[in-house]
């Protein structure tokens, strides 16, 4: 049987054991977006693919097209997974998990690939908590699901002070509209500022800036909560991070 094949540079997001000798793998590619593929025989001790196909690894890979899943034909190493400390690994895993959940198969988004490629080495150089949060706010925008931050999502006005943030409504709610929407998540001016700063952060030359602990925690809660709401399932890495702290 003649099967079409294609090649791409990919970053492995997750790899699960499948049957006795295979792996079910999700990666994000430079030109084809998210690709879900089977690596047949990858669990054999002598399998090169088995050794290379690990989360965080950057590979050059060749695939056979499939009706539902692609099939790995061959691969070679571009960049091995960085030797992360436990905290870096936890935040890195959150980055990979959110990328898998917020992107669609076969929807090419090179900006997301480039962002991921730039961000993963930074986990070892800067505060991994901030690197992850900066990645997540950028990912929300690039994936096309970024919430409304500057104007009220109900009335469209630009308020001085927000009543809060609503996952269901998709963003900021002003004080006048607030009472109709029940319990809202706190969303202060400082947090909105930090959100803007992180969105503008240049991953190639990250500038140093001061972060207030309260704004950081509030933004993390909003962003993690919003991603969980969008994904419609709990994120495994958030439970792990909660255990670490």
Residues that bind Zn ion (CB under 5 A): 152, 154-155, 174, 177
Looking at beta carbons only, is 35 or 152 nearer to Zn ion? 152
Looking at beta carbons only, is 43 or 188 nearer to Zn ion? 188
CA pair distance 126, 118, nearest whole angstrom: 13
Residue with tokens 């469209």: 156
Least gap, CB of 221 to Zn ion (angstroms): 22
Q: By C-alpha distance, which of 156, 155, 133 is closest to 226?
A: 133
Least gap, CB of 153 to Zn ion (angstroms): 8
Looking at beta carbons only, is 178 or 206 nearer to Zn ion? 178
Q: Where are the beta strands (DSSP E) in 19-138?
A: 22-29, 33-39, 58-64, 70-79
Q: Are 10 and 61 in contact (CB under 8 A)?
A: yes
Looking at beta carbons only, is 67 or 158 nearer to Zn ion? 158
Residues 6+ positions from 180 with CB-CB distance below 8 Å:
none
Least gap, CB of 191 to Zn ion (angstroms): 18
**Token digits for 71?**
């099939």
CA pair distance 243, 245, nearest whole angstrom: 6
Residue with tokens 């571009």: 78
Looking at beta carbons only, is 125 or 157 nearer to Zn ion? 157
CA pair distance 87, 127, nearest whole angstrom: 10
Looking at beta carbons only, is 137 or 154 nearer to Zn ion? 154
Least gap, CB of 168 to Zn ion (angstroms): 15
**Token digits for 136?**
């997540």
Least gap, CB of 208 to Zn ion (angstroms): 36
Looking at beta carbons only, is 161 or 202 nearer to Zn ion? 161
Q: Are 44 and 21 in contact (CB under 8 A)?
A: yes
Q: Are 109 and 33 in contact (CB under 8 A)?
A: yes
Least gap, CB of 178 to Zn ion (angstroms): 8
Distance of CA 24 to the CA centre of its chain: 19
Least gap, CB of 137 to Zn ion (angstroms): 22
């Amino acid at each position: 049987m003649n099967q079409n094949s294609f090649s791409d540079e990919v970053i492995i997001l997750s790899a699960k054991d499948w049957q006795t000798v295979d792996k079910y793998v999700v990666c994000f590619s430079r030109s084809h977006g998210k690709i879900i593929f089977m690596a047949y025989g990858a669990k054999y001790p002598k399998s090169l693919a088995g050794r290379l196909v690990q989360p965080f690894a950057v590979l050059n890979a060749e695939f056979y097209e499939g009706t539902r899943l692609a099939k790995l034909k061959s691969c070679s190493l571009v960049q091995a997974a960085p030797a992360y400390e436990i905290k870096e690994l936890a935040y890195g895993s959150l980055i990979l998990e959110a990328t898998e959940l917020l992107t669609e198969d076969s929807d090419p988004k090179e900006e997301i690939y480039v962002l991921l490629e730039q961000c993963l080495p930074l986990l070892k150089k800067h505060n991994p908590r901030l690197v992850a949060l900066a990645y997540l706010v950028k990912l929300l925008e690039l994936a096309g699901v970024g919430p409304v931050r500057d104007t009220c999502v109900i009335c469209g006005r630009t308020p001085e002070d927000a009543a809060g943030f609503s996952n269901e409504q998709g963003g900021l709610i002003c004080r006048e509209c607030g009472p109709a929407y029940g319990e809202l998540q706190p969303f202060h001016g400082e947090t909105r500022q930090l959100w803007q700063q992180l969105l503008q952060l240049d991953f190639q030359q990250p500038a140093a800036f001061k972060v207030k602990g309260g704004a950081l925690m509030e933004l993390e809660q909003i962003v993690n909560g919003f991603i969980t709401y969008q994904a419609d399932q709990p994120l495994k890495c958030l439970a792990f991070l909660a255990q670490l702290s």
